[in-house]
Amino acid sequence: MSTSIVGWTQSRKRRGLTAQERAAIVFVAPLMILLLVYWIIPSLASLFYSLTNYSVVLPSKWVGLENYSRLAGDVLFWKSLKNSAYFTIGNIPFTMAIGLALAIAVNGALVGRNFFRIVFYLPGVTSTIALSMVWLWLFDPHFGLLNAFLKLLGLPPQQWLQSTSQAMPSIVLMSVWGSVGGTMIIYLAGLQGIPVQLYEAAEVDGATKWQQFRYITLPSLQPVTLYVLVTSIIGSFQIFGPIYAMTDGGPAFATTTIVHQIYINGFRYFHMGYAAAQSWVLFVLLLGLSIINLRLQVFGFIQD
C-alpha cells in the first residue's frame, strides 16, 4: 500500500495542479493575503511589542516579561477585569432570556411577525456611537426621558451614568437593548430547525406548552445556547464602544474595562508595549473560553 501511495504522490507531482485546484487557489489567495497582512502579521508584531517598552515616539527596548509582571500589580488592570466580568455576568442572562422569549414570540402565529423581527433586530445593525448618543440623552439626570418616566411614577430621579454604583448597570441596560435582537435571530434559526413532528407527537401524548418547552425546545436548542453563551462572553469582554462614548471609563473608573484600558494605554499614553501585553492576556482569556465551548459541544454531541 505504501508503494501505491508513493506512486500516486509522484504522479501528482508530475501532473501538477488540476484546473479546479488552481481555481480554488485563485479564489482563496486574496482572502489569505488579507488575513496575513491584517491579522497574522499584526498579531505577531503585537506579541513582539508586548515584550518591549515600545511607545511609538521612542525606539523600543527589549524588556522580556516585565510588562506581564507589571500587570500583576496593576490595580487599575484588575479593576478593569472585574468590571468586564461584572458587565458580562449582568449582560448575558438578560440578553439570552429576552432573546429566546422574543424568538419564540416571533416564531409563532403573531400578527405582523416579520415587522417585529425587523424592529427587534434594528438596534443590532445601528452604529454603536449613534445608539450611545441616544442613550446619553435618555440617561441625562436633568432632562432625560428615564427620569421623566420615574417622575410620572412618583419615584425619585436617578444619577445613572454619573453614579459609581449605577453607571455599569446603566451600560448593561443599554447593551441588552442593543444586542437582544441578534440573539433573537440566532434562537429563531434554532427554533425553525426543530422538527414540527416532535411537537405534534407531544400534543397527542397530552403534553402542555410548558412541558413541550422544557422537554423539546430547550434540549433541541442546547447547541445554539452554547454558541450564544460563549460568543456573548467573548463579545462582552470586548465591550468598548458604549464605554468610550458614554462614560470614558468613569465615574472614578467604575466602568473602565479591559479593552478600554488597552485603548487608554496604547493610544493616549502611548505605552504600546504594555497595551500589547494587556491585549495578549485578553486573547489568552478568550482562547480559554473558546476551548471550553469546544469541549462542551463535543461532550454534548457524545451525550446525544
Retrieve residue 129's grid coordinates. 456611537
Say if CB 48 and CB 62 are below 8 A apart: no
Q: How far is CA 210 from the centre of its chain?
A: 30
Instruction: Kindly tell me if the per-residue pLDDT of 15 is higher than 90.
Output: no
pLDDT, mean of residues 56-63 = 86
Give the whole-number percent of the chain exceeding pLDDT 70.
92
| pLDDT value of position 89 | 93
Residue 37's CB is within 10 A of a number of other CB atoms, namely 10
Segment 170-181, tens digit of pLDDT: 999 999 999 999
**Mean of per-residue pLDDT scores for the chain:** 88
Give the whole-number percent of the chain exceeding pLDDT 90.
65
Q: How confident is the model at residue 13 (pLDDT cuts 50, 70, 90)?
A: low
Instruction: Kindly tell me if the per-residue pLDDT of 290 is higher than 50.
Output: yes
Instruction: Kindly tell me if the per-residue pLDDT of 6 is higher than 70.
Output: no
Going from the N-terminus, what domains does the chain have, and what CATH number goes with each? 66-303 (1.10.3720.10)
| pLDDT value of position 125 | 86
Segment 100-143, tens digit of pLDDT: 999 999 987 777 888 888 888 988 888 889 999 999 999 999 88
| pLDDT value of position 297 | 66
Instruction: Tell me the pTM.
Output: 0.85
Instruction: Kindly tell me if the per-residue pLDDT of 8 is higher than 80.
Output: no
Segment 256-289, tens digit of pLDDT: 999 999 999 999 999 999 999 999 999 999 888 8
| pLDDT value of position 3 | 55
| pLDDT value of position 165 | 93
Segment 218-236, tens digit of pLDDT: 999 988 998 898 889 999 9
Using CA atoms, how far apart are residues 214 and 184, in angstroms rounded to an integer?
18
Say if CB 247 and CB 37 are below 8 A apart: no
| pLDDT value of position 81 | 93
Q: Which residues of 233-272 are buried (b: 16+ CB within 10 A; e: fewer)?
A: bbbbbebebbbbbbbebebebbbbbbbbbbbbbbeeeebb
| pLDDT value of position 59 | 83
Instruction: Kindly tell me if the per-residue pLDDT of 49 is higher than 80.
Output: yes
| pLDDT value of position 302 | 47
Instruction: Kindly tell me if the per-residue pLDDT of 304 is higher than 60.
Output: no
Segment 22-45, tens digit of pLDDT: 888 889 989 899 999 998 999 999
